[in-house]
Amino acid sequence: MANEFCGKVLKCARDQYANHVLQKCMECVPAQHIQFIFRSFCRKAKALSITPCGCRVIQVGICF
Protein backbone atom coordinates (compact mmCIF):
# COMPACT_ATOMS: atom_id res chain seq x y z
CA MET A 1 0.00 0.00 0.00
CA ALA A 2 2.84 2.40 0.82
CA ASN A 3 4.16 2.02 -2.74
CA GLU A 4 1.01 3.74 -4.01
CA PHE A 5 2.43 6.99 -2.61
CA CYS A 6 5.46 6.82 -4.88
CA GLY A 7 5.54 10.03 -6.90
CA LYS A 8 2.59 11.48 -4.98
CA VAL A 9 4.03 11.98 -1.50
CA LEU A 10 3.94 15.77 -1.42
CA LYS A 11 0.44 15.96 -2.84
CA CYS A 12 -0.80 13.40 -0.33
CA ALA A 13 0.97 15.14 2.55
CA ARG A 14 -1.12 18.24 1.83
CA ASP A 15 -4.41 16.34 1.45
CA GLN A 16 -6.71 16.36 4.48
CA TYR A 17 -7.42 12.64 4.21
CA ALA A 18 -4.35 11.13 2.56
CA ASN A 19 -2.00 12.67 5.10
CA HIS A 20 -3.43 10.37 7.79
CA VAL A 21 -2.69 7.29 5.69
CA LEU A 22 0.80 8.61 4.95
CA GLN A 23 1.42 9.15 8.67
CA LYS A 24 0.29 5.62 9.49
CA CYS A 25 2.62 4.18 6.84
CA MET A 26 5.48 6.14 8.37
CA GLU A 27 4.64 4.74 11.79
CA CYS A 28 4.05 1.10 10.83
CA VAL A 29 6.04 0.24 7.70
CA PRO A 30 9.77 -0.50 8.17
CA ALA A 31 11.89 2.49 7.14
CA GLN A 32 13.79 0.56 4.46
CA HIS A 33 10.53 0.16 2.51
CA ILE A 34 9.47 3.81 2.63
CA GLN A 35 12.73 5.70 2.14
CA PHE A 36 11.14 7.37 -0.90
CA ILE A 37 8.72 9.12 1.48
CA PHE A 38 11.49 10.59 3.59
CA ARG A 39 13.50 11.56 0.50
CA SER A 40 10.45 13.42 -0.82
CA PHE A 41 10.61 15.71 2.21
CA CYS A 42 14.18 16.82 1.48
CA ARG A 43 14.21 20.57 0.90
CA LYS A 44 10.41 20.62 1.28
CA ALA A 45 10.07 20.42 5.07
CA LYS A 46 9.68 24.17 5.54
CA ALA A 47 6.97 24.45 2.87
CA LEU A 48 5.10 21.43 4.26
CA SER A 49 5.39 22.52 7.87
CA ILE A 50 3.35 25.67 7.27
CA THR A 51 0.37 23.82 5.77
CA PRO A 52 -2.36 22.45 8.05
CA CYS A 53 -1.96 18.84 6.92
CA GLY A 54 1.69 18.82 5.94
CA CYS A 55 2.81 19.90 9.39
CA ARG A 56 1.40 16.68 10.88
CA VAL A 57 3.30 14.54 8.41
CA ILE A 58 6.54 16.40 9.13
CA GLN A 59 6.03 15.91 12.87
CA VAL A 60 5.69 12.15 12.42
CA GLY A 61 8.74 12.10 10.14
CA ILE A 62 10.87 13.87 12.73
CA CYS A 63 10.13 11.16 15.27
CA PHE A 64 11.75 8.58 13.03
What pLDDT is recorded for position 23?
Answer: 94
Residue 7 region by backbone torsions, left for phi larger than 0, else alpha for psi between -120 and 50, else beta: left
**pTM more than 0.75:** yes
What average pLDDT score do residues 1-28 get? 92
Q: For residue 29, what is the DSSP state?
A: S
What pLDDT is recorded for position 64?
Answer: 60
